[in-house]
Structures are given as C-alpha cells and as structure tokens.
C-alpha cells in the first residue's frame, strides 16, 4: 500500500537486523523502498541491497556533505552505476549550508553537474536542501523548461517555494518531523500542498516520527507520518497510500500503473472521464504526459472510450453525489452524444450535472450544441485562459477564431444553463483583473481562478 521513497538502509546501524527491519516493513504494508545513496561507496552498497530484495530500488548520487573533493570523474562512476536496472534516480544531491561540511562552491558545482547527468540519463533527482533555500530556488528555476523531475525530500523551505516547485511539476515529501509538537509550520505546508505532488518517506535511520523520536528510524514507522497526512488532508489512510504510490510511479516508475478509471470521485463529486482526446494542445496541459489525478489513471486511447451505459452503471444513484462532472484530461464535447445520454440519466434520477469544457463544442460538432444543454447540464465551466485572442491561440495552440467562438459559447450558454463559470489558470502572464471584468461584466458569468495543474 505504501512506498517509502527515502530510507538509507546501507547504514551500519541496520547491519545486524536488516532482515527483521525488512520483515517489519512488509508487515506494515510497505510495498517498495527506495534507498538513496550519499556517495559512490554507498551507491554500490545500495545496489547490492537491491539485488537481494526485489522491492528495493536505488538512487545513486553524491550528497552535498560529500562534495569537498568533487571532480568530474565522479560523474563517470555515477553514470556507470546508473546503468543497473534497479537505479531509478540520481540522489540524494543538493545543498546543505547548515552543516557546511563542503564549501558552497563545491556543493553548487556537484549539484549542477549531477542535475545535468540526470537530464542526460532521463532520470529524476532526489534533492536534499537545508538552509540553502534561495540558491536552491535559483538553480531549480533555471532548469524549469528542461523536463527535470525532482523530489524535495524532508521538505523544509517555505510554503511559497513549495507551491512554486509544484507548479514546476516537482514532488515534495515530509519525514517523521511533521509529527513533532513544534512542527506547526511544516504541517501548514503539508496541508496546503497538492496531494498529487506528495510522496512518502522515512529518511531512516534519521527523523523518527512520534512516538519513536530519538530512536533509530525504519520503514515500518512510516504509518505514523501517514496518519498525520491522512488527518490533515482529510483522506483515508488507504487513499493516502493509493495517491502517493501512484505519485512514486509517476516520478520513479516504481510499482504498477493503475487501470484506467472511467469515473473517479473527488470529494463528494463523481467525475466522468469522457475522453483523453482534445482538439486543443495547451502548453500547460498534462493530458498526454501525465494523465493522473488523486491516484486515478485517466489515460485512455480512443478505442478504449466506453459507451454511455458503462458510465451510467458506475454512477448508480446520482443523487448521492454533489455533482456529476463531465471532465477528464480531454474535451468532453468531442463525445457530445455520450455526454448528453449520461446527463439525461443523471437528471432523470435526481442528480446535478456540470460540464467542464474549453468552449469549442460548436467547432467540434460543426453545429450549435448550446440549446441541447437545456435541462441536461446544470452548470457549465469554461476555460477562458486569456482575454487576448493572440495569447489564447498561443497558449492553447489553436486558431485565433477559437477565442471568439469560446466567448460566444459562454455568452449564449447563460440562456440555457443555471450557471456559467469561466476560469483562468493562475500563471503570471495572464491578466487576472481584466479577465474578471470581462467575465463578470460582459459575459455575466461567474469568475474563478484555477490552479496551474
Ligand atoms: S483544452 Fe483542456 S484538455 Fe484540451 S489541451 Fe487544453 S487543458 Fe488540455
Ligand atoms: Zn537528506
Ligand atoms: Zn537522506
């Protein structure tokens, strides 16, 4: 059920009872363990462990503490070691200005060299960061458009940094220190970060959660951290396991990809995964590369798209949900006939419906579909994305005409559905006040800002 993404099982204090430690991990539902190394010697030890235990994976890298004598030849050794089939990341690497065991310049040089190696090998990185927030942020931001994937282990920077790293599509994990009495600030960050970017870790043998604080940490203690996450995120322990395990699969490729879900529940709303296809190709969209949400896999080929009765069967009694939402990572009006059939069923059986769309339904269906929403769709939520046709066309990679088409779709929808909502993504170069004014004053719809992802 759980993946401990950070346990240094190569340390001497595990050597006498490692089999028992592993046995306890298994008994406590730890499916996989990722062992990050700190230098070449521990990388080799970790690989040996991964050969003995099939559920152990490895990251190879040089920890900032060990970078005093960094030189480029070490990169070559890492590169050789990374060829082992159980190596799934470069780590742990980073900056540590708290202990300052190695000069800053050396730490930065080694960190950047290892990031470049990870990019060359198409591997994610595992980051250690202590008292080096501003240099860390500068370095990681400079790799923003490279496709770099990172885990910020034992997160201890600010909430703003956490949010920015998540916008860059990185992952965050907290150790047992979130269970400590004085860790209110960390718990606030944990509460605020998107669960789709959260991983689990112990950092064993360090950072034992309560009630083991001060003792040697081990993977079986992970449940104590999971319980806090479950409480703060208002999710069951099983959901925390499911979501974070899928997250570990997304970044490290550890574990199994779940089957495609045709419907998925978020809060008390049931979402209908109508299609994974879209007529647009937004620069910020994850539909092709990362079609996952809250532990669900929404990726599906056209040939796998189910007929209406499959959705209807999965919905059952629609009145038990707040809303039935036609959504998914794709444009639902591409399958407008299916949406209508399911929506009709929902309305007949006392449910509420919402359509999340890019507003291109009339272009897609080559006719005016707006009057067909009457009595079937209660709320329509349209992505505005921009107030400028040029920017819109660049963001969504569609023809400029689609901008006016979308605006007209929204204006006319007001006459056929109870509520029209228009949303913009909170990326910096979209002018939020202008968008708000357009939506509220001209279109007479409700305005909402939605998160980047
Ligand atoms: S309109 Fe929506 S589904 Fe289509 S590419 Fe843009 S973000 Fe993705
Ligand atoms: Zn660390
Ligand atoms: Zn560590």
Confidence of residue 430 (pLDDT cuts 50, 70, 90): low
Pocket probe for ligand 1: among 358, 385, 395, 405, the residue whose CB has the most ligand atoms within 8 Å is 358
Q: Is the CB of 288 under 6 A from ligand 1?
A: no
Nearest-CA residue for ligand 1 atom 6 is 282
CA of residue 394 relative to chain centroid, distance: 25
Q: Give me the torsion for CA of 290, 291, 295, 297, rounded to 10°.
A: -130
Which neighbouring-strand residues pair with 204?
Answer: 7
Mean pLDDT of 273-286: 93
The tokens describing 7, both together, are: 């346990």
Q: Is the CB of 323 under 6 A from ligand 1?
A: no
Spatial separation of the C-alpha atoms in residues 174 and 329, rounded to whole Å: 29
Nearest-CA residue for ligand 1 atom 7 is 285
The tokens describing 207, both together, are: 């950072």
Pocket probe for ligand 1: among 277, 284, 286, 287, the residue whose CB has the most ligand atoms within 8 Å is 287
Assigned CATH topology for domain 263-450: TIM Barrel (3.20.20)
Spatial separation of the C-alpha atoms in residues 236 and 55, rounded to whole Å: 24
pTM for the model stands at 0.89
Spatial separation of the C-alpha atoms in residues 289 and 122, rounded to whole Å: 14
pLDDT value at position 234?
A: 93
Q: What is the pLDDT of residues 118-167, one digit of tens each?
A: 999 999 999 999 999 999 999 999 999 899 999 999 999 999 999 999 98
Mean pLDDT of 4-21: 96
Task: Find the angle CA(359)-CA(285)-CA(150) to the nearest 5 degrees.
Answer: 160
Q: Is the CB of 361 under 6 A from ligand 1?
A: no
Pick from 90, 96, 109: nearest CA to 150: 90
Question: Is the Cβ–Cβ distance between 340 and 396 less than 8 Å?
Answer: no
DSSP letter assigned to residue 335 = G
Mean pLDDT of 15-28: 96
Q: List, as own/partner pairs, every contact residues 343-348 make where C-beta atoms lie below 8 angstroms and the sequence separation is at least 24, other chains included.
A: 343/376, 343/377, 344/376, 345/308, 345/312, 345/315, 345/318, 346/315, 346/318, 347/375, 347/376
pLDDT value at position 328?
A: 74
Report the separation in Å between the CA atom of 428 and the middle of ligand 3, taken as the mean of its atom positions.
34
- Taking every pair of C-alpha atoms in the chain, what is the biggest distance, in angstroms? 73
DSSP letter assigned to residue 299 = -
Q: Is the CB of 384 under 6 A from ligand 1?
A: no
Nearest ligand to the CA atom of 277: 1
CB atoms within 10 A of CB 295: 21
More confident residue, 58 or 433: 58
DSSP letter assigned to residue 154 = S
Mean pLDDT of 97-111: 92
Mean pLDDT of 196-222: 96
The per-residue DSSP string of 58-105 comes to EEE---GGG-TT--THHHHHHHHHTTSTTEEEEEEEEEETTT--S-HH
Q: Is the CB of 396 under 6 A from ligand 1?
A: yes
Pocket probe for ligand 1: among 280, 288, 290, the residue whose CB has the most ligand atoms within 8 Å is 280
Q: What mean pLDDT is reported for the chain?
A: 95
For residue 306, the SS3 value is coil
Q: Is the CB of 330 under 6 A from ligand 1?
A: yes
Pick the CATH number of 2-252 from 3.20.20.140, 3.40.50.720, 3.40.1410.10, 2.60.120.260: 3.20.20.140
Mean pLDDT of 83-96: 97
Q: What is the pLDDT of residues 336-360, one digit of tens each?
A: 999 999 999 999 999 999 999 999 9
The per-residue DSSP string of 361-399 comes to HHHHHTS--GGGGTTT-SEEEEE---SSHHHHHHHHTS-
pLDDT value at position 453?
A: 45
Nearest-CA residue for ligand 1 atom 3 is 330
Report the separation in Å between the CA atom of 31 and the middle of ligand 2, taken as the mean of its atom positions.
22
Question: Is the Cβ–Cβ distance between 36 and 233 less than 8 Å?
Answer: no
Q: Is 263-450 the same fold as 2-252?
A: yes
The tokens describing 72, both together, are: 């480029």
Pocket probe for ligand 1: among 391, 396, 430, the residue whose CB has the most ligand atoms within 8 Å is 396
Mean pLDDT of 236-247: 96
Nearest ligand to the CA atom of 385: 1
Question: Is the Cβ–Cβ distance between 153 and 173 less than 8 Å?
Answer: yes
Spatial separation of the C-alpha atoms in residues 208 and 219, rounded to whole Å: 10
Spatial separation of the C-alpha atoms in residues 357 and 161, rounded to whole Å: 31
pLDDT value at position 452?
A: 56
Domain chopping of the chain, boundaries = 2-252, 263-450
CB atoms within 10 A of CB 185: 11
Residue 9 dihedral angles phi and psi, to the nearest 5°: -75, 0
Residues with Cβ–ion distance below 5 A, ligand 2? 128
């Amino acid at each position: 059920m759980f993946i401990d993404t950070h346990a240094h099982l190569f340390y001497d204090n595990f050597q006498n009872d490692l089999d028992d430690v592993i046995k306890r991990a298994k008994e406590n539902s730890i499916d996989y363990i990722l062992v990050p190394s700190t230098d070449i010697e521990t990388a080799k030890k970790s690989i040996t462990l991964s050969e003995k235990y099939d559920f152990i994976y490895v990251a190879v890298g040089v920890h900032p503490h060990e970078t005093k004598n960094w030189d480029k030849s070490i990169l070559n050794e890492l590169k050789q070691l990374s060829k082992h089939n159980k190596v799934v990341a470069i780590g742990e690497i980073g900056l540590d200005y708290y202990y300052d065991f190695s000069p800053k310049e050396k730490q930065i040089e080694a960190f950047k060299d290892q990031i470049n190696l990870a990019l060359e090998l198409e591997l994610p990185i595992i980051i250690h960061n202590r008292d080096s927030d501003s240099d860390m942020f500068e370095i990681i931001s400079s790799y923003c458009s490279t496709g770099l994937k990172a885990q910020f282990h034992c997160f201890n920077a600010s909430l703003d940094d956490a949010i920015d790293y998540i916008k860059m599509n990185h992952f965050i994990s907290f150790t047992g220190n979130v269970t400590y009495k004085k860790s209110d600030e960390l718990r606030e960050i944990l509460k605020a970060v998107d669960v789709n970017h959260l991983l689990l870790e112990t950092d064993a043998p360090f950072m034992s959660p309560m009630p083991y604080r001060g003792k040697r940490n081990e993977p079986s203690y992970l449940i104590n951290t999971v319980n806090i996450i479950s409480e703060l995120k208002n999710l069951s322990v099983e959901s925390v396991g499911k979501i974070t395990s899928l997250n570990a699969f997304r970044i490290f490729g550890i574990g199994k990809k779940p089957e495609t879900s045709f419907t998925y529940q978020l809060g008390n709303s049931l979402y209908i995964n109508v299609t994974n296809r879209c007529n647009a190709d937004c620069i910020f969209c994850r539909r092709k590369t990362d079609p996952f949400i809250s532990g669900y896999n929404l990726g599906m080929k056209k040939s796998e798209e189910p007929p209406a009765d499959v959705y209807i069967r999965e919905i059952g009694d629609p009145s038990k949900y707040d809303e039935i939402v036609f959504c998914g990572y794709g444009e639902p009006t591409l399958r407008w006939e299916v949406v209508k059939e399911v929506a009709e069923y929902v309305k007949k059986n006392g449910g509420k419906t919402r359509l999340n769309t890019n507003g291109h339904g009339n272009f897609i269906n080559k006719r005016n579909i707006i009057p067909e929403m009457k009595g079937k769709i209660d709320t329509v939520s349209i992505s505005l994305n921009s107030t400028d046709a040029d920017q819109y066309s660049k963001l969504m990679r569609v023809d400029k005409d689609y901008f006016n088409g979308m605006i007209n779709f929204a204006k006319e929808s007001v006459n056929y559905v109870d509520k029209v909502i228009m949303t913009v993504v909170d990326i910096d170069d979209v002018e939020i006040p202008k968008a708000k004014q357009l939506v509220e004053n001209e279109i007479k719809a409700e305005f909402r800002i939605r998160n980047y992802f």
